[in-house]
Structures are given as structure tokens and as C-alpha cells.
Structure 1
Amino acid sequence: MEVRDRVKGLLRELIAIRSVSGEEGKIQEFIEGRLRGVGVPVVRQEVTEGRFNLVCPSDTPFVVSCHVDTVPPIDMENAFEAKEVGGRIYGRGASDVKGALSALLTAVELFKERHPEEELPLSLAFVVDEETNSALGSEKVVEVLGKDKLCLVLEPTHGALCVAQNGAVEFSLVVEGESVHGAEFEKTENPIKVCIKVLESIEDKLSRPVNILTLKGGEEHYLVPKRCYALAEVKLWQGERWGEVEELIRESIKEVRTSCDVRYTLEDAEDFIEFRCNGLLDPLKEAYRRAVGREPRLDTMPSWTDAANFHRAGYECVVFGFGSLKDSHTERESISEDELEKMTFFFLELFEVLRCA
């Protein structure tokens, strides 16, 4: 069977296994079975009751880490039934990040078929809980992996080697006012309009857009709502500290004149991170050149990833993977056959680079 058909078939199997955050058990058992089937030793690490990471340890400092959980279907119909259209495979997790997972597992199996007596020249980590704010899987897996590692974190980066990661301040707003009959809306302040005004004030103060993740308020009944809730975030760039940006957010809220009660809560925050990657970047670049036939592009990952936890643990990090981050989590989530094949060859070349080092 050709590599392309092999990795496509495996991706179809992975998409069919529902692995929404908190429900990762079945996919971890599947991964464990595939690895043990080719003689790769696997260790389970409990994260919370009923949830576990998988680690394939080695004596080398190199690690590839992949999260196994996905977001729910949301607007994607038949999200766990892979569909192939125009050379692309659609399904929940196709790009984030089961496409990379299928390429990695296929490469491991091919490597063991070619070198049955050799151990993998790097460690593997398959972690749970990435698609939540807690990210307990990557936080805990360092206890098994140990110190001073060089970690490739798999995420959809359009094929770029990401050597930095944007930070963010995530916050919620609750705006409450006096509810009145809808026909006399002029006699009160509408909390929804006030909430929007507050978000616009934040944008003006920071000179950047606010990403509104949730905006809830109002009923179908004919009255001005009493309450509005918003969950939002702002992105941080190189040189910015989240504490300083958050203080500006608080100031901008105070500048909005309103009779409504506005309550602000900091939900999560992370500074912009420039990864240490001196010992990691060269082998990744060489593997990319061999597999893809051109120089890799270096970039910044616009989203939080498990690399933040590995960075805090003192690891060198790079974030990488083919596929579109923009379309991930949406009904358009997909990955192309070409990307799957290139990623599989990338991992095979990386194994060869490391085993010959």
C-alpha cells in the first residue's frame, strides 16, 4: 500500500473515534495498540481519574508531542465520519490535529518495518486536555519525560516552523441593568449595548481588535434584558506583558460612563513566548528540506499551544504541522492528501536525521 493511501486510511479511523476533551480514552487505547503492535514500548500516565497520557520514552533529548483531544462537532455535521472531497479529507480533528497524528503513527510503523531491531530515535508523547484552558496533559507529562528536552509540538501551522507563540488576555464581562418593558426601552440602558460599548472602548485603548468568543443577552419576550455576558480576548505581541495589557483593559472599562453594573473577570493570560530552539531547529530544517524539497518558513504561532507548558518546564520548543489553523474548529476543518503525505515523509526523514546524528 502506498504511503498516501496508508496515512489517509489511518486518518479516517482516527476521525471516527470521538475524542472531544474529557473523552480521550478510546483514542488513547487505539494509539497504544498501534504502537505496541510494532514493538514500541508505551507508558500510561494518569492525568485525572479515567484520563491518561501516553509516553514512548527514549534515551534521547528529542520529543514529539501531539494532543489527542478535539473540540466538539459544533456546526460540523457528521463530524466523526471522514469525507473526501477534491483531494481533502474533512472531519473533526482532521487538521487539529489528527492529520499530524496519523502521519506520525504511519511514520513510526514504517520506521519499525524498515528497522525492526532499532528503537525510535526520540520520545513520543500523546497528551489529553489541550483544547481546554487547563491543558493538564502537557503540564503533567513533563514528569515522565524528564528535564532538558527538545520538543516538537504538533499543531496546524500551514507547514511553518513556529519559533514563537502569541500571548493573549482572555476575560469575561457581566453587564447588569434595569429591565423594562420593550415598548419603553428609552427609560433604561440596554446591557447588551453597554457591553458592546465597553468592548469598543477596549479596542480603542489597545489599538487592536477584540476577539468576541461569546455574547449572550436577551430573551424572545418583549423586554429590555437585565443582563449581558461576554467572553473575549485580545492578542499579545512581542515585547508585551499581559499584566500591563490587562491594566489598560481595566482602565478602558472604567472610562465607559453607564448606570449599569459592569463586572470584569480575568479568565486566562499568557505572555508572548519566544521559544528556545537552538538545538532543535537544525534537525527539523534538514528533515523538512529532505521531505518537501525547499527551505522551511519560520513563523509565529498565533494560538496558545502545549508548547507554553513545555517552555515553562525548560524545554526547547518548535510548533509545526501542515493544515489550516483558520479552518480548524469549524465545519470546514480538513487536510489535503498532499499535506498528509508530506508530513509522513517529514517524520520519516526526521527519524533518519536523528538516528544518524
Structure 2
Amino acid sequence: MDTLTALAFARELIDIDSTTGHETAAGEWLASRLRGLGYSVTRQPVADDRFNLIATIDPPDVVLSTHYDCVPPFFPSRVDDGTLFGRGACDAKGILAAQVAAAERLRADGHRHVGLLFVVGEERGSEGALAANAAPLGSKFLVNGEPTGSRLATGTRGILRVRLRARGRAGHSSAPEHFESAIEKLIDALVRLRTLVLPSHPIFGATSYSVGVIEGGVAPNVVPARAAAEVLFRIVGDAGDVLVPVRSLAPQVEVEEILRVPPVQLHTIPGVASASFPFTTDIPLLDRWGVPLLFGPGSFLVAHTDNEHLHVAEFESSIGTYIQIIAALSA
């Protein structure tokens, strides 16, 4: 598969909205294209009509993996001045296309023991990875794709996702002193959150967090009885070391753990540039698929933005690097 064909593959996939929870149309297209290339394709059910895709020629020693869901909002592809734009350009549909191109070039050279695993739900909850880990193929290595700036990751942070709930007593807003505002309690707790001492690590750095969702209240003239926020911590060690100080926010808020994924240190290859990354991937949840590596073109700093993009030159060179990685793992 030449670069122009791979780029067209990426654009067609980007142009199908596959916001997390709505991946079916993209999965149908992808399954059809992979079958057209001669792969044996298995649709692995995940939830409702959503599914992972597993594509093989011969039993794989190495599996290339990424996700085909994207964060909202969807926007279609375009190529401008040597750069591919669109939702999923670097996270991770452009990467997926580069992986397919690498597998195709290897197959043309007689290397048929490379598999493909494309999952749903990575951007929220990792449902696809959890389902995939229940049915591994016996591969020796898993090369996962995320935007690492074309460097192999030496490690990635984990995540701890929590919901903070505040409860108050509703009433008429003209007399707030007679009632309890859940929103005020939540705000106070979030201010205290800024002061907590959170763990650090010599490789991963300091724990960070983002308040991604806030909700509460029913009307401007009603003292709110309920409010909540979702906070995503990028953890550098055991999740419990973050939960302990976060639980000190009680009794202003209740703390509910939603999801935890541990940080990981990863396999690297001499001759391929490497670095540590602050984000989290599906790798900790795919531990039955072989020794993990993480590599992909593009920058995570433009992922999830309205300027998401991938330089075509880097896209092209990453195909060669995937081939280099697989050759080293197969030696």
C-alpha cells in the first residue's frame, strides 16, 4: 500500500463520524476494507451494535493495535499544505491507516504473521480493550498506536477518574441563607482540591488532573440541591495514593471512583527514539496480547482539539518505522 493509498484510506475513515458510542458505521466500513485486502476479519461484540475488529492472515506473532473511536465533536478531513486535518487525524485514524499500510507492505514481502486489532471505546471507559483482553490471539508482542511524535514510549501515566457529588437543600433563591447550595459546596471542594499534595515519580513526573465535567442546578432562581463534577487524574503510581487525599474533601462532597488504569513502563528498541508520555492508553488493559510497545505519528498536544492534524511526511515515515519495529521484534 503506497502512501497516497494509505492517506486516502485515512481520509475515508476520518470522514465517518465515530464519536465514542457511535462507532458502528466506521467499523462496518473498516471491516469491509480489510476483507477486501484479503484479511480474515472477526467482529468482536462489545456493547449494543459496537464491535472490535481483529484482522489476520496467518497466526500473528506481532499485533498492531489502536482505536477507531474519537472524541467529539466530529469534523471531516482535509489536506492542506502537506498536513492532514480532521477528527482522528492523529488520534487515532491516521495511525490506524499507517498500521494497515505497514502490515500490507510486510505482507507483500512475505511476512504474514502480523495481526491487526482495532477497538472501540478507548476515549471513554476502554470497553473495547476489556473485551479484547478476554480473547487474545497468542501474539508475542502488541504494538499499540497513539500519537507519540513518532517515538517509542518508555512509559505512560495511568488514570483515576472520580465523580465528586455535593448535596444541598433546595429552596427559593431570594433567601439562600435558609437553604444549602450544592453548587457552593462543590466549588469549595474544587478549590480545596487545588491545595492537595499529590504523588510524584522520577520518570512520570507529578500527578496532574483536569476537571472535565461540572453539572448542577435546575434554574437560576432555585438554590441547587445537587451538583457533581468529574475529575480525571493522570496518576504516576498506585491509584490509592491519590484517592486518600481526595477523600479528605468529604464531607463537602462524596467521592465515587469510576475508573482506574495503572501507569506502565514499556518495551523499547535500540535505534528508535523514545520518551515518556503523560497520557494513558489501552495497553494496561491488553496485557494478554503480548509484550507491549507504544508508537505513533502525530502530537498528543493537538489531539482532542479543533486543530487536530498530522503532517503527511510524518505519516509516511511512520509506516517505515512500524516496519522497522516489527522487523526488530521478529528477529
CA contact (8 A) 1:32 1:54 kept: yes
Deviation at 1:214? Answer: 0.7
Please give the residue correspondences for 1:68-147 in structure 2 after superposition, counting only pairs within 5 Å. 68-73=68-73, 79=75, 81-112=76-107, 114-115=108-109, 118-133=110-125, 135-147=126-138
Alignment of 1:270-349 (within 5 A): 270-275=261-266, 277=267, 281-282=268-269, 285-286=270-271, 288=272, 296-300=273-277, 302-311=278-287, 313=288, 315-349=290-324
* Distance (Å, rounded) in 2 between the aligned partners of 1:63 and 1:214: 35
Distance 1:241 1:209, change over 3 A: closer
- Correspondence list, 1:38-57, <5 A: 38-57=37-56
Q: Report the TM-score, using the length of structure 2 for normalisation.
A: 0.85
Change over 3 Å in CA distance of 1:224–1:194 after alignment to 2: same
Correspondences of 1:152-301 after superposition (within 5 Å)? 152-186=143-177, 188-207=179-198, 210-219=209-218, 221-237=220-236, 240-254=237-251, 262-275=253-266, 277=267, 281-282=268-269, 285-286=270-271, 288=272, 296-300=273-277
AA matched with 1:88? T
The letter for the 2-side match of 1:303 is: F
Look up the match of 2:203: none
TM-score (norm 1): 0.79
Number of equivalences: 322
**What's the C-alpha RMSD, in Å, of the aligned pairs?**
2.7
CA distance in 2, matches of 1:48, 1:189: 40
CA contact (8 A) 2:103 2:114 kept: no
Distance in 2 between residues matched to 1:45 and 1:96, nearest whole Å: 22
Could you tell me the percent identity over the aligned residues?
27
Q: Aligned letter for 1:164?
A: G
Task: Name the amino acid aligned to 1:165.
Answer: T
1:151, CA displacement in angstroms?
0.8
Structure 1 residues 103 and 210: alpha-carbon distance in aligned structure 2, compared to 1, 3 A threshold: closer
Q: Give the secondary structure class of the aligned counterpart of 1:95.
A: coil
Q: Secondary structure at the match of 1:96?
A: coil
Q: Deviation per CA, 1:232-264, whole angstroms, max 9, x where unpaired? A: 122211xx311232122112334x6xxxxx322
> For residues 152 and 105 of structure 1, what CA distance do their matches in structure 2 show?
13
Partner Cα separation in structure 2 for residue 60 and residue 5 of structure 1: 27
Quote the Cα distance in structure 2 between the aligned partners of 1:33 and 1:337: 25
Higher strand share: 2
Which has a greater percent of helix? 1
CA contact (8 A) 2:64 2:144 kept: yes
Structure 1 position 202, deviation (Å): 2.8
Q: Tell me how far apart the structure 2 counterparts of residues 333 and 314 of structure 1 sit (CA, whole Å).
A: 29
Contact 1:201 1:253 in 2 (8 A): no
Give 1:72's aligned amino acid. P
Counterpart in the other structure of 1:19 = 18
